[in-house]
Structure 1
Amino acid sequence: MTKSAGQPPSGPKRELIVFGLDTAGKPKAGRFAKKHAAVATRAAKSLKLSVCPGDKQAIADILKKIPVGRLHAQGKAFIPYIKRDLFDQIQAAATPASLAAKSNPGPAVTETPAARPPRSWDDIAEGHLVLYHEGPRDGWWESLVLARDGETLTLKYRDFSRYPAFQCHFRAVALPYLSSE
C-alpha cells in the first residue's frame, strides 16, 4: 500500500471562524484552517472580533457559506464582509444560550439568560445585571456582565444584542435596585 504525498488526512476538516462587527457596525466573518488558529486568534483579538471553532455541529452547515479569511505576514488578518443574515446565523450558532434554546424549544421571552443584580460593586461578576450609560444624554441601559478582570468589566447591552461587547471600569456602572426579599 502506498501513501499519496499531497493528500490531506481523512476525517473532518478542522476550521476556525473569526466573526464580529467592525467599527461601523458592518458584519464580518472569515474561516481559517486550524493550523493558523493561533495567528487568527491574535488577529481577532486585535480587531475585537469573536472566535468560534468550526467543528461545532451547529456551525457545520454555516461553515460552507463563510468566505475564507487571509492572514498577512505581519500577523494581521483580512476578514471579509458578509450579509447580516449570515452573521446572525453564525452568532446564533456560536452562542451557547441559543444552542440550548434550539434543543429545548418553547416560548422564550428574551434571547438572554435571566440575570441577577449584584449586592455591591465588589460582588459584580459574570452573569450579573448592571446599569451603564455612555454619557449624560444617553440614559442608563441594562447591561449583562460577560467577564470581570480585576477592575475592568466586559459588558453587553441586554436589549441590544447586535451591539458589540465593550469594557469599562467597575465603578462606572450603577447597581439596579434590590428588593429586601
Structure 2
Amino acid sequence: MYDELAAAVLPARSSAAAATKAPPAKAMEAAKSRSKVFILLGFDENQKPRGARYRTSNEEELIKLSKETALNLYELKSADSISLAGALPAGKLPTTGSASVPEIRQALYSEVVVGISDDAAAVPRDKLGGPLPPQKGSPESWEIIETGHLVIAQESPEYGWAEAIVVDRKDGLLTLRYRDYPKLPKFYRNYRAVALLSRGSK
C-alpha cells in the first residue's frame, strides 16, 4: 500500500518540481526580449578607436558610462546593424573608465561607422559634441586649416571620401565631424591627410 501511494505521489511532486524550474528559463527569455542592443563607439584620449556591444535593459548605466568615457552611445534597431555590431567585443557592466571599453581595429571601427551612417534607425543617445561650428568655407592651403573649415576626409580606403567640418585643431592634428552625417562621432586626422576642395579655375 505504501509503495503504491508513493508511486502516485512522487510523479506529481516531480511534475511540480519541473514546473518550478521552467519559469527561470522563460523569465530569461522574456528579459532578453525586453533588452535593447547598444554600442559604445569612439576614440579615447590617445585617439585610439574603442567599441563594444551591449544587450541590456539598463540604459541609464550605459548613458553614465558614455559620459565617463566620452564615447558615443547608440541604440541599434535594424537587423543589419545588430548583425554588424556582432563583430564588436561584448562589453561588460557595471564598469567605469575608457579602458573598460576595448580598443578595436581601425578597419572595424570604420565598418561600424559606415553601417551607422546608412542606418536611419540607429539612435544616438547623446548630442555627439553639440552643434557644428560656424562654417568658414574651404581653406586655400593645409597650413591655414582651422576650426570651421570644410575639408574632404577619408574614413578608410574602402569607403571613399566625404565632406567634414574641422571642430578643433591642435598643432597638426584635426578633430573632425562629417558634415552630412551629424549622428556619427568625431574623428581625428593629420592636417595633411585631408583633401581641400577645388575652387575651380578663375
The alignment's TM-score, normalised by the length of structure 2, stands at 0.48
Q: Is the partner of 1:9 in helix, strand or coil?
A: helix
Match of 2:88 in 1: 66
Is 1:4 the equivalent of 2:27?
no
Paired with 1:71 and 1:127, the residues of 2 have a C-alpha distance of: 32
Q: Is the partner of 2:52 in helix, strand or coil?
A: strand
Paired with 1:127 and 1:21, the residues of 2 have a C-alpha distance of: 18
Match of 1:88 in 2: 110
CA RMSD between the two structures: 4.0
Matches within 5 A, 1:141-152: 141-142=149-150, 144=165
Q: How many residues align?
A: 127
Matches within 5 A, 1:130-169: 130-131=135-136, 138-140=144-146, 141-142=149-150, 144=165, 156=177, 158=179, 164=186
Among 21, 25, 47, the residue aligned to 1:25? 47
Counterpart code for 2:177: K
Q: Is the partner of 1:70 in helix, strand or coil?
A: coil
Q: Is the partner of 1:131 in helix, strand or coil?
A: coil
Paired with 2:84 and 2:56, the residues of 1 have a C-alpha distance of: 17
Structure 1 segments of 4 or more deviating over 3 A? 1-4, 10-13, 125-129, 143-146
Residues 77-115 of structure 1: per-residue CA shift (max 9 Å, x gap): 6101111121112111222xx347xxxxxxxxxxxxxxx
Sequence identity percentage: 16
The alignment's TM-score, normalised by the length of structure 1, stands at 0.52
Residues 9-39 of structure 1: per-residue CA shift (max 9 Å, x gap): 2558632111111122211111123223211
Aligned residues of 2:43 and 2:187 also touching (Cα < 8 A)? no
Paired with 1:129 and 1:90, the residues of 2 have a C-alpha distance of: 28
Give ranges in structure 2 of 5+ residues lacking alignment: 1-17, 121-129, 151-163, 168-175, 189-202
Is 1:37 the equivalent of 2:59?
yes
Measured at CA, do residues 13 and 55 of structure 1 come closer, stay the same or move farther in structure 2, by a change above 3 Å?
A: farther
Aligned residues of 2:42 and 2:185 also touching (Cα < 8 A)? no
Greater Rg by CA? 2
More helix by share: 2
Q: Is the partner of 2:88 in helix, strand or coil?
A: coil
